[in-house]
Amino acid sequence: MPSYETVIGLEIHVQLATRSKAFCADDASFGGAPNTHTSAISLAHPGTLPRLNEKAVEYALRLGLALGCDINLNSSFDRKNYFYADLPKGYQITQDQNPVCRGGQLTLNRPAPKTMRIHHIHLEEDAGKSLHDQDPQFSFIDLNRAGVPLLEIVTEPDLRSAEEAAACMEAIRHLVRWLGISDGNMEEGSLRCDVNVSVRETGDPAYGTRCEIKNINSMRFARRAIEFETARQIEILENGGRVEQETRGFDPAGGFTFSLREKEQAHDYRYFPEPDLPPVRIAPEMLEAVRAAMPPLPQVLEQEFQTVHQLPAHDTEQLVQDRQTAQYFQHLVSEGNPPAKLLANLVIHKLLPWAAENGLALADCPVQPAQWREFVRLIDSGKLSATAANQQLFPALLQQPGAAPGQLAESLQLLQSSDLDWLEKLADELLARYPDKAAEYRKGKKGLLGFFMGELMRASKGKADPKAATAVLVARLG
């Protein structure tokens, strides 16, 4: 049996976090009692006219700049005609011929580093929601979502596995949250995906025929749908059949895809330029203003953390998990050249869990960055063991957020000592207590140093500075 390769392209829909809808002032927020975020415009009453939400355009520019797209200063809207109960106008306003962004690329870190190409990004409006599970006899329609602005990110068919497809969705979710243009919440449908899948024999330069799986709203479903679809298409080919181009659905309970309809052709939608909206002319000044207000991108900060602060990729990935964390860390390392690795440990292993447990942001932490810098300096200088710092000083500081870490550690008797007289006294006591072991050490059993260190730390109740203690022991034993 020949080996096959899966080829995947995604059409990712991102709901924009604007306050109002794409073409009217209705509330665009999620939820609300059904059909309350609906004016005559959302309901498509005759004679109403759309008016473009400038914020939605700004958000499109942010994403386009972040993905290195060519920004189209002269885009325009088209009508995509189809009949569906949750589409009151009988058409969707979208960008078909002339999208706001073209090209661009996205770099994935997982499963292996890879740069994939973006085909284009266009603006459009969402449809309402049909609810089929509320009543045995009737379907219900909630038009609150009708007209909420979306960006559709269409990728090139550059993905080769379910893992890469999930990584791509994750990267987009991370980016739109970072840019503050969407909450990226998949459960609430703010991020959804159509997954295009084809297979071909490994090495074949031509793509196979693809199927489009509609409306996937979780990474796990995307993975399972791709795996199922890959196996299904391979089986067809192995049996000498041909994959039909079609639109399919995914059944999450059964884990299978099923045919919805033959793939429609563009002419089925009878696209034509939207006559009720003028073309979108983006002033160069607007583009420059958006560019100037862009936050530093996560990959740029990650690179900076690795090169300037010498942090491992495993840490930096966690530090750029969201913009707030990255900014907080930047602030921590910005002054006085504190040990960056210890600050990274503090943020990743102590502060982020603390924030999550308390439902707070890092910036809300009552202990100030200057205090955390002192906290890690105590560890770095050997005055405080990492264990005592994390297990005792950390919670104590949060209890007394005004305290100076050094003084607090002292009053809690946590400070380690490198006081030579004291260490030598402890070492001599040990040598007197274990003369046989000392003799063995002197005969060459150097591994016993660990035994003496353990005993010394115990005798000092963990307060001996390990470096100084080792030096004293080696001198006394040698």
Residue number, 264 or 335, with CB nearest to ligand ADP? 264
The answer to whether 414 and 392 are in contact (CB under 8 A) is yes
Residue nearest to ligand ADP (CB): 9
**How many Å is the Cα radius of gyration of the chain?**
30
Query: Please, which residues bridge with residue 75 across strands?
Result: 280
Considering only 4, 10, 99, 323, the residue that binds ligand ADP (CB under 6 A) is 10
CB of 207 to ligand ADP, least distance (A): 3
Judged by CB under 6 A, the chain residues 191 through 230 that form the site for ligand ADP are: 196-198, 207-208, 210
Residue number, 10 or 150, with CB nearest to ligand ADP? 10
Judged by CB under 6 A, the chain residues 221 through 280 that form the site for ligand ADP are: none
Residue number, 86 or 246, with CB nearest to ligand ADP? 246
Residue number, 159 or 397, with CB nearest to ligand ADP? 159
Both tokens assigned to 471: 């030096």
Residue number, 210 or 224, with CB nearest to ligand ADP? 210
Considering only 42, 72, 94, 155, the residue that binds ligand ADP (CB under 6 A) is 155
Asked whether position 63 contacts ligand ADP by CB under 6 A, the answer is no
* Buried-state track 288-317, b at ≥16 Cβ within 10 A, e below 16: eebeeeeeebbeebbebbeeebebeeebbb
Considering only 5, 86, 156, 424, the residue that binds ligand ADP (CB under 6 A) is 156
Length of the chain: 478
Question: Any idea which residue has 């096959």 for tokens?
Answer: 4
CB of 177 to ligand ADP, least distance (A): 22
CB of 78 to ligand ADP, least distance (A): 13
Asked whether position 11 contacts ligand ADP by CB under 6 A, the answer is yes
Total of chain residues touching ligand ADP, rule CB under 6 A: 15
The three-state (H, E, C) secondary structure of 416-459, written as one string: CECCHHHHHHHHHHHHHHCHHHHHHHHCCCCCHHHHHHHHHHHH
CB of 181 to ligand ADP, least distance (A): 21
Residue number, 21 or 122, with CB nearest to ligand ADP? 122
The answer to whether 192 and 215 are in contact (CB under 8 A) is yes
Asked whether position 168 contacts ligand ADP by CB under 6 A, the answer is no
Task: Report the amino acid identity of residue 333.
Answer: V
Considering only 9, 104, 128, 338, the residue that binds ligand ADP (CB under 6 A) is 9
Kind of pairing between the strands at 246-251 and 211-216: parallel
CA angle at residue 246 from 210 to 128, to 5 degrees?
A: 115
Q: Which stretch binds ligand ADP (CB under 6 A): 8-16, 283-291, 317-325, 356-364?
A: 8-16
Residue number, 8 or 344, with CB nearest to ligand ADP? 8
Give the rounded distance of the alpha carbon of 416 from its chain centre: 40
Residue number, 79 or 210, with CB nearest to ligand ADP? 210
Query: Please, which residues bridge with residue 417 across strands?
Result: 464
What sign for the dihedral angle of Cα 357, 363, 368, 371?
A: positive
Q: Which stretch binds ligand ADP (CB under 6 A): 121-129, 155-163, 320-328, 388-396?
A: 155-163
Considering only 68, 157, 296, 466, the residue that binds ligand ADP (CB under 6 A) is 157
- Residue of 84, 90, 117 whose CA lies nearest to 102: 117
Q: Which stretch binds ligand ADP (CB under 6 A): 2-10, 338-346, 389-397, 457-465?
A: 2-10
Residue number, 8 or 384, with CB nearest to ligand ADP? 8
Kind of pairing between the strands at 129-131 and 140-142: antiparallel
Residue number, 97 or 307, with CB nearest to ligand ADP? 97
Asked whether position 80 contacts ligand ADP by CB under 6 A, the answer is no
Asked whether position 94 contacts ligand ADP by CB under 6 A, the answer is no
DSSP assignments along 257-276, one per residue: EEEEEEPPPGGGGT-EE-TT
DSSP assignments along 381-412, one per residue: TTSS-HHHIIIIIHHHHHHSTTS-HHHHHHHT
- Residue of 191, 151, 186, 165 whose CA lies nearest to 66: 151
Question: Any idea which residue has 């972040």 for tokens?
Answer: 66
Residues that bind ligand ADP in the complex, under the rule CB under 6 A = 7-11, 154-157, 196-198, 207-208, 210
